[in-house]
């Protein structure tokens, strides 16, 4: 078994155990340079937190260990990561994602996030969720203040 296959099988085993404990069929394994750093499962059933996805929990735990950048890390997930989890992966610099079940496979079970992916890919004004932009000029000064504090040249 390749490392990818081994880590992916572990994510699936975590998902299987989570289902047995009343949770959703989602598990994730986060590795860095081939070494397992974090294992996580979807905890929505325990916390009622809709963001408690396995991948996001793995990222949160790994970030506490390594900092906000997870360069060199790979996430193995039992299911196709949702847009929220993918966004977090982009934000923290995850190097690669490997998953087992696609949204197409998950769709008949009500577990696909393809519709959400489609919505967030649309321009703001075309999305179903009403999103209103109220510009505030003071934000520019706040952004400049932040840049000065975090990028002193």
User: How many domains in the chain?
Assistant: 1
- 24 to each of 47, 60, 137, 140, how far by Cα in Å? 13, 19, 44, 42
1 CB-side CA count, 13 A: 8
Active site residue 107: no
pLDDT for res 152? 66
Exposed, middle or buried: residue 29 (CB in 10 Å: 0-12, 13-18, 19+)? Answer: buried
Q: How far apart are CA 110 and CA 90, in angstroms?
A: 26
Evaluate if residue 111 carries a pLDDT over 80: yes
pLDDT for res 151? 85
Instruction: Summarize the confidence of residues 112-122 as an average pLDDT.
Output: 95
Average pLDDT, the chain: 96
pLDDT for res 3? 93
Q: What is the pLDDT of residues 38-73, one digit of tens each?
A: 999 999 999 999 999 999 999 999 999 999 999 999
Instruction: Summarize the confidence of residues 101-115 as an average pLDDT.
Output: 97
The CATH code of the domain that includes 6 is 3.40.140.10
Catalytic one of 55, 95, 125, 153:
55
34 contacts: CB under 8 Å, gap ≥ 6: 3
DSSP H or E stretch at residue 99? strand 96-101
pLDDT for res 33? 93
pLDDT for res 153? 65
Instruction: Summarize the confidence of residues 88-102 as an average pLDDT.
Output: 98
CB 131 within 8 Å of CB 124: yes
Instruction: Summarize the confidence of residues 69-93 as an average pLDDT.
Output: 97
Q: What is the domain extent for residue 18? A: 1-150
By DSSP bridging, strand 96-101 and strand 73-79 are parallel
- 121 to each of 48, 93, 110, 117, 126, how far by Cα in Å? 27, 20, 21, 6, 10
Evaluate if residue 1 carries a pLDDT over 70: no
Evaluate if residue 118 carries a pLDDT over 70: yes
Task: Supply the pTM of this predicted model.
Answer: 0.91
């Amino acid at each position: 078994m390749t490392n990818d296959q081994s880590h992916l099988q572990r994510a699936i085993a975590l998902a299987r155990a989570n289902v047995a404990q009343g949770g959703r069929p989602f598990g994730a394994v986060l590795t860095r340079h081939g070494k397992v750093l974090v294992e996580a499962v979807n905890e929505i059933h325990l916390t009622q937190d809709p963001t408690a996805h396995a991948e996001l929990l793995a990222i949160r735990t790994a970030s506490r260990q390594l900092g906000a950048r997870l360069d060199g890390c790979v996430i193995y997930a039992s299911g196709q990561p949702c847009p929220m989890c993918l966004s977090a992966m982009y934000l923290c610099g995850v190097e690669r994602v490997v998953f087992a079940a696609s949204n197409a496979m998950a769709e008949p079970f009500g577990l696909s996030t393809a519709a959400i992916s489609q919505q967030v890919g649309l321009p703001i004004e075309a999305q179903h969720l009403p999103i209103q932009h109220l510009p505030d000029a003071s934000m520019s000064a706040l952004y400049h203040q932040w840049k000065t504090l975090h990028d002193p040249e």
